[in-house]
Amino acid sequence: MDIKLKNIIEKNNSIIIHRHKRPDMDAIGSQMGLFHLLKENYPNKEIYVVGDSNKFLYNSKMDEIEDEIFNQSLSIILDTSVDYMISDERYKIAKEVIVIDHHRNDINLETYDLFYQLSEYTSACEILVHLAKTYNWKVSDEAATYIYAGMVTDTGRFRYINNENASRVFENASFITKFKPNINDMYNFLYTESLEERQTKNLFQEFNTTENMVAYRKNNKELILKSGLDIFGVSRGMVNQMAGIKEIPIWVSFTEDFENDKILAEVRSRDITVVDICKEFGGGGHNNACGASLKDFDEADLMLEKLDERAKEYGNIK
């Protein structure tokens, strides 16, 4: 599969890189990391990046391109394998399509040329490290910065790894840091915030718990507007306000996506697999960090019941 992937990349002179909507740092990191890898190793190719924008666009800007360019290009989709999550649906008119993903989801695209899935890898950016090593690609400091950032954030600063993959993850992190990523600047970008932003988090400090100590919040439209944050900033950004509590093995945030008439569920856990529950509701992700789009808060309650049963199966985490 490594050879087929490289062959498809090398035969196309125009490449468009996609990722999922409402990107996190692994989505942006893999998209921009691959952009810089391809520019460094194939300087004569035309490389584009497309998608929506948010606060994770570290030193980057998405391209605006015409439909005709897609007709003669390879589309590479990163960090998702489900059609409704892809950042620019014009991949459907591309000459060829490659999907590269690390999530434990089946692909649902109607047509594609290669599905390159490494579910044991902790991030899409870690897959890029594997490809750079396999192909002996040159790695610029820009590529290294984005790739390292995606590895750091999708592992929760290397907290969400297990004994089976820890050695590989740290070896790959060590490899990419040889190319001088700007770690200090990236960390400042990721982990510092304004006083106003920090104070806004106080709106999301309180939460409820189920019988078996699953913590949960329900963020409605009124609260989101009051916070001044966007929907994604509340859904993804506030779920870990409930993290790091000894008695809480699973925590979930339900956020009203009033723009799309959905409820966004973000589920996290400590040492308990929950991704199968998210898959039951049409979602997916990692074993311990996953999500789904739900119809309404009634469906959120159904998910919460299943999460509570899962916590009961395992007992309280000590």
Q: Show the domains of the chain with their CATH numbers.
A: 2-190 (3.90.1640.10), 196-314 (3.10.310.30)
Taking the CB of residue 126, how many other CB atoms lie within 10 A of it? Answer: 25
Question: What is the enclosing helix (H) or strand (E) of 134?
Answer: helix 124-135
pLDDT in the model for residue 318: 45
Query: What is the tens place of the pLDDT at every residue in 162-194?
Result: 888 899 999 999 999 999 999 999 999 999 988
Average pLDDT over residues 47-57: 92
Give per-residue pLDDT as tens, 115-140: 999 999 999 999 999 999 999 999 99
Instruction: Check residue 197 and give its pLDDT.
Output: 83
pLDDT, tens digit (0-9, with 9 covering 90-100), for 58-99: 999 999 999 999 999 999 999 999 998 999 999 999 999 999
Helix, coil or strand: residue 262: strand
In the predicted structure, residue 317 carries a pLDDT above the cut 60: no
**Alpha helices per DSSP H over the chain:** 2-11, 25-41, 67-71, 124-135, 141-154, 166-177, 183-191, 195-200, 221-227, 231-235, 275-280, 297-314
Of 96, 100, 94, residue with least CA distance to 19 = 100
The mean per-residue pLDDT over the stretch 204-225 comes to: 95
DSSP 8-state secondary structure symbol assigned to residue 259: T
Among the ranges given (27-36, 73-82, 165-174, 276-285), the one the predictor scored with the smallest mean pLDDT: 276-285
